[in-house]
């Protein structure tokens, strides 16, 4: 089976840095995805990691350690508009659908 | 707009009625997934379809739910004899097997069962 864990809620201050962790157990692995979802809206793609290490994209970075079954999403220079849910999702192999964690609801406060 | 299109965005049904949710994938994509999201919950996989073929329906309830993706036209998720527990947001996502596996989501259809 597959299991994905991430914190339910986090709060951070505008301008600060926040790290959202995700741990997973899967029978196979072909990539880890992070999505952002604002309330009442569709999830939108943020990042994809398939190899160990850090992927940087502007204010957002994502890290993966396959041996530890661990990833994090790092958000820098937080803005109020970053308040959203952040979903960690893992692909197993082939046609297996992405499995999503329950999401971490981030609140950015002034 | 070449994105994933879902309709209706909002649907209200009384218990026992039928709900039909439609999804047109991104241009060039022939694979769609349907996910269900309950309030404060993650996305739960329901079914994976390719044109005229159901690839994986392991996440779909055995009764009352069905899905299709005909050769022409949108994919349809059909819920018969709806119950209050069916109230949720239903998201469709499409992807290209030639890509990274990234899913492109539609805006979702929000079903409310009275």
B35 close to A (CB below 8 A): yes
| C-alpha dist (Å) from residue B9 to B89, B106, B108 | 9, 10, 6
User: How confident is the model over B16-40, as pLDDT tens digits?
Assistant: 999 999 999 998 888 999 999 987 7
Cα distance between residue B29 and residue B4, in whole Å: 10
Is the minimum CB–CB distance between A2 and chain B shorter than 8 Å? Answer: no
Q: What Å distances lie between residue B67 and B47, B48, B53, CA to CA? A: 8, 9, 10
Judge: A97–B106 Cβ closer than 8 Å, yes or no.
no
Contact at 8 Å (CB) between B48 and B93? no
State the average pLDDT over residues B83-94. Answer: 96
One digit per residue, pLDDT tens: chain A, 110 residues?
678 999 999 999 999 999 999 999 988 888 999 999 999 899 999 999 999 999 998 999 999 999 999 999 999 999 999 999 999 999 877 667 888 999 999 999 99
Q: How does residue B95 score in pLDDT terms, banded at 50, 70 and 90? A: confident
Q: Considering only CA atoms, which of A78, A91, A108 is closest in space to residue A35?
A: A91
Minimum-distance CB partner of A31 among B42, B45, B101: B101
Cβ contact A100–B100 (<8 Å): no
């Amino acid at each position: 089976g597959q299991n994905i864990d991430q914190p339910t809620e986090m709060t951070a201050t505008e301008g600060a840095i926040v790290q959202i962790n995700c741990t997973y157990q899967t029978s196979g692995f072909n990539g880890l995805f992070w999505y952002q979802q604002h309330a009442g809206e569709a999830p939108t793609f943020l990042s994809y990691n398939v190899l160990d290490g850090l992927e940087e994209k502007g204010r957002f970075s994502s890290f993966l350690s396959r041996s530890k079954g661990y990833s994090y999403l790092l958000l820098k220079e937080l803005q109020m508009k970053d308040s959203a849910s952040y979903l960690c999702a893992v692909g197993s192999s082939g046609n297996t659908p992405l499995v999503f964690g329950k999401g971490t609801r981030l609140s950015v406060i002034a | 707009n070449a994105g994933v299109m879902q309709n209706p965005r909002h649907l209200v049904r009384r218990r026992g009625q039928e709900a039909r949710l439609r999804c047109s994938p991104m241009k060039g994509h022939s694979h769609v997934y349907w996910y269900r999201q309950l309030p404060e919950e993650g996305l739960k996989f329901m079914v994976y379809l390719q044109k005229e073929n159901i690839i994986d329906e392991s996440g779909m309830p055995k009764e009352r739910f069905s899905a299709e993706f005909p050769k022409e036209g949108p994919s349809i998720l059909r819920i018969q004899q709806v119950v209050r527990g069916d109230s949720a947001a239903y998201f469709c996502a499409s992807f290209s097997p030639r890509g990274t596996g990234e899913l492109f989501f539609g805006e979702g259809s929000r079903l409310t069962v009275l």
